[in-house]
Amino acid sequence: MKKEVLFFDKNQFAQYKKAKTNEGYEIISITKYLQNFDDISEINEYLTIVDITSLGSINEVQYHAERLFILFPYLTIFIADNKHKEFFLHELRYCFEEFNDIEYLHEEIPQLVIGNNTEKFNHKKITDLTEEEIIEFTNLFSKQLYGHEKFKDDFSELLRNFRVFNKIGEHKILSLFLMGDSGVGKTEVARAIHKCLGGKRKLAKINFGNYSSDNSLNSLIGSPRGYIGSEEGEIFIRVKDSDTGLILIDEFEKSNSTLFNYFLDVLENGKMISSLAEEIDLNGFIIIFTSNISKENFTQAISPELRSRFDYKGYFTLLYSRDKLKFVEFRINSIIYKFNKNFPTHLTNEIKEELIQQIDVDKFSNMRDLNKEIKSKFVDYIVSKATSLRNITD
């Protein structure tokens, strides 16, 4: 066996890693050994694969390599991203006897790609629906979202246009930027779409309130290969775990220019690219960005380039009393149904009228607070009824 470097295709690395892990190997970045040469003595040459990709970005590679590689056991397997192939052929010519591609990777391991290629995630998208289904979707969505009648009309027209231009290849992602105070229904738009598309798994949601640090991009799309602790980013995990072509980016304004620029590229090219160069094709997806900023602050917080990429920019106001009453009625009906399904005590619809009378919807501008009030009143009712029954039987 000759001492060699095997080059992999970056788009297939995840499948290669999975295959080798199943065989009992551990893939470790060369970075670990650059930090401490003594760790090399602990290598199990029969179960360790060393990824030397990160050497492609350091100075004086040949000098460090000639001191480093002589310390490794002879049978150690070394791999590298083929984007550095020409560079390594020259700089590491005295350290290795051969430089080869991982040929069986193309023959035995299917390429990890998403969208229109070989391995597809089963996301139900708005562009998958027939004309009859889109009518049903629109009607159901209108019932699911309380109030915001103008937005519902605008959204219906947006869907119609998006489906046409997506089909002819001119519009890959439908993007909405929804502004307004907390609790007025912005995130409910995404939940309603997810439900109306028949989503059974979790909605792909990212809260940018957690992404304000300098390292936020690595957390979102993964750390570059070669760094200790490299892993898949949160947004890739969320999208893969979901079953609808929908992404919700909450509190978008709380992040930084690095992430803004990343999403500018996403909206322009119609795909997400991780730090490991894995791609997810978002053709046909809807991305909803929500923000608590005011209309006046919108132009200050979001760059002109990014603003121009949003297909819809809307401001959500507080719901009218009639819409809040409809929400209360819907929630109580839903709670009664779930209660009767899980408890032996059977509640009748009489409780609905009683609870509606106890809730003053005009006191609430935040729908989350209104929902808490409904739950509280419902529990109070159940407890009071149980107490009354005990007093009668006693």
Answer for the pair 285, 173: CB distance below 8 angstroms, yes or no. yes
Q: How far apart are CA 341 and CA 346, in angstroms?
A: 9
How does pLDDT run across 22-78, given as a tens digit for each residue?
Answer: 777 889 988 888 877 878 877 877 788 999 988 887 777 888 788 888 888 877 899
Sign (positive/negative) of CA torsion 60, 66, 72, 75?
Answer: positive
DSSP state string for 132-156: HHHHHHHHHHHHHS-S-HHHHHHHH
Q: How far apart are CA 79 and CA 30, in angstroms?
A: 10
pLDDT confidence of residue 145: 86
Inform me whether the pLDDT recorded for 103 exceeds 90.
Answer: no
Whole-prediction pTM: 0.59
Q: How far apart are CA 139 and CA 246, in angstroms?
A: 19
Residues of the chain above pLDDT 90, percent: 29
pLDDT confidence of residue 392: 44
How does pLDDT run across 299-329, given as a tens digit for each residue?
Answer: 888 888 888 999 999 998 877 788 788 788 8
**By three-state DSSP, how is residue 21 classified?**
helix
pLDDT classification of 79: cutoffs 50, 70, 90: very high
Q: How far apart are CA 353 and CA 383, in angstroms?
A: 18
Inform me whether the pLDDT recorded for 110 exceeds 60.
Answer: no
Task: List the 48-51 sheet strands across, edge first.
Answer: 26-29, 48-51, 77-81, 4-8, 98-101
CA dist 276 → 6, 222, 227, 280, 335 (Å): 18, 7, 11, 12, 45
Inform me whether the pLDDT recorded for 113 exceeds 50.
Answer: no
DSSP state string for 327-357: HHHHHHHHHHHHHHHHSSSPPPTHHHHHHHH
How does pLDDT run across 272-296, given as a tens digit for each residue?
Answer: 987 777 788 999 999 999 998 887 8
**Residue 251: enclosing H or E segment and its boundaries?**
none
Q: β-strands 286-291, 174-180: how paired?
A: parallel
pLDDT confidence of residue 286: 97
pLDDT confidence of residue 108: 38
CA dist 28 → 65, 254, 278 (Å): 17, 35, 19
pLDDT classification of 117: cutoffs 50, 70, 90: very low
Inform me whether the pLDDT recorded for 198 exceeds 50.
Answer: yes
Chain-wide mean pLDDT for the chain?
Answer: 82
Q: Which phi and psi angles does 155 have, rounded to 5°?
A: -65, -40
Torsion, CA 14, CA 18, CA 23, CA 27, rounded to 10: 50
